[in-house]
Structure 1
Amino acid sequence: MTGLQVAVVVGNPKPQSRTLDAATYVATELSGQAPDLVVDLADLGAAILDWKDEQVAELVAGVGAADLVVFASPTYKGTYTGLLKLFLDRFATDGLGGIAVPLMLGAGPGHALAPELTLRPVLTEIGGVVATKGLYVVDSAYDDPAAYAHWLELSLPTITALLRSRTGASA
């Protein structure tokens, strides 16, 4: 789709994490292109705590303007990380203008509802359109396409239609 802006935001405190790989994979599968903007929050360090930091403000603006954003986090204590929360707190209630995909990785199936119960509400609160159910992947399978296949099969038609309507692309 021409003119499509795709972003990935990763709230794993470890840089270059499995969570980043998973989010990039999902964004690419949904959009048919590599993400234009990848925000690995671990790389920001203390800047994320400085509300006057221009780099963080630019990243918030870029993510807010994207047509599709995959927000990814490991599951910590049944929810997303504080690092991701710090970044999401930067957005106004209408600060996210595109389609948002909540993605969480976890050690086992016990937290499979975490993307729906914890991440989805904040993404909708900041203006994102969460058009499909959130995605939870057991982190030991993060690099296995089969771990994403069923969710992609269900979600891709809806997200593709919404992206086409946003960009004016024809079928």
Structure 2
Amino acid sequence: MSILTIAGSPSADSRSAKLLAHVGNAIEAAELDVATLSLRSLPAEALLLADRSHPAVVAALDAVADASAIVLATPIYKAAYSGLLKTFLDLLPQRGFEGKFVWPIASGGSLAHALAIDYALRPVLASLSAAQIGRAVFALDSEIGSDSGGGLQLAPALAARLDDGVNALAQHLGASPRLAKLNASNGFMRFSPARCSA
């Protein structure tokens, strides 16, 4: 069984993608296969014109079709998930998530954005026939930091929510998660630098 993580931010320095990289590390620690799709790396013209024949788009859609589970990460802009993610989701077939566990993760500057997951993103995931939608994780920008060496630092409560999500994902796939527990330092959990920046 394979898991595809999808980074939905157009930014090269995205907090949501850093969260996704951390989740990818945790999934690997649970001895599950994981691959990452960064939507910002797809050709903009092909996305905007819904060119499903473009080789990069074909490869991305095939990756979704082949995955047993999907983890989506997006920033919240103006009370909605990113337009880049919306554009990609619009390219999927009507039942593009059929049979799949889908777990949404989002980041934003204010708790006022938290409901965007339930009111904007979750209905779209359901319309794509997701078999199960995992408990969404919303992270405040203030919960995501970095140390002097560029390593990712997460507030302990956020790190715990992400660990719970990976556990739920692993259990859904019938795996036994083996998440490494790291020591708290100055109110944050320390992790290795994020593997992707998109």
Verify same fold: TM over 0.5. yes
Deviation digits for residues 139-158 of structure 1 (CA, Å, limit 9, x no counterpart): 23234052434424654554
Q: Which runs of 5+ in 2 are unaligned?
A: 145-152, 178-198
Describe the shift of the 1:77–1:170 C-alpha distance in structure 2 as closer, same or farther (beyond 3 A): closer
Deviation digits for residues 18-71 of structure 1 (CA, Å, limit 9, x no counterpart): 221111222443562586321111122323224121211211121232122111
Give me the TM-score of the superposition, normalised by structure 2.
Answer: 0.71
Written as runs of structure 1 = structure 2, the 5 A alignment for 1:139-154 is 139-142=141-144, 143-144=153-154, 146-152=156-162, 154=164
Give me the TM-score of the superposition, normalised by structure 1.
Answer: 0.81
Written as runs of structure 1 = structure 2, the 5 A alignment for 1:146-165 is 146-152=156-162, 154-164=164-174
Report the equivalent of 1:42.
40
Written as runs of structure 1 = structure 2, the 5 A alignment for 1:60-139 is 60-96=61-97, 97-139=99-141
Inter-partner Cα distance in structure 2 for 1:130 and 1:27: 19
Describe the shift of the 1:98–1:108 C-alpha distance in structure 2 as closer, same or farther (beyond 3 A): same
The yes-or-no answer on 1:21 pairing with 2:18 is yes
Report the equivalent of 2:181.
none
Q: Which runs of 5+ in 1 are unaligned?
A: none
Determine if contact 1:64/1:95 at 8 Å carries over to the other structure: yes
Determine if contact 2:101/2:131 at 8 Å carries over to the other structure: yes
SS in 2 for 1:87: helix
Mark the structure with the bigger radius of gyration. 2
Q: Give the root-mean-square deviation of aligned CA atoms.
A: 2.5
Inter-partner Cα distance in structure 1 for 2:165 and 2:8: 23
CA displacement at 1:78 relative to structure 2: 0.4
Inter-partner Cα distance in structure 1 for 2:33 and 2:143: 22
SS in 2 for 1:36: strand
Describe the shift of the 1:84–1:119 C-alpha distance in structure 2 as closer, same or farther (beyond 3 A): same
Inter-partner Cα distance in structure 1 for 2:82 and 2:95: 22
Inter-partner Cα distance in structure 2 for 1:170 and 1:48: 37
Number of aligned positions between the proteins? 164
SS in 2 for 1:94: coil
More contact order relative to length (CA 8 Å, sep ≥ 6): 2
Describe the shift of the 1:34–1:139 C-alpha distance in structure 2 as closer, same or farther (beyond 3 A): farther
Inter-partner Cα distance in structure 2 for 1:71 and 1:170: 22
Describe the shift of the 1:109–1:137 C-alpha distance in structure 2 as closer, same or farther (beyond 3 A): same
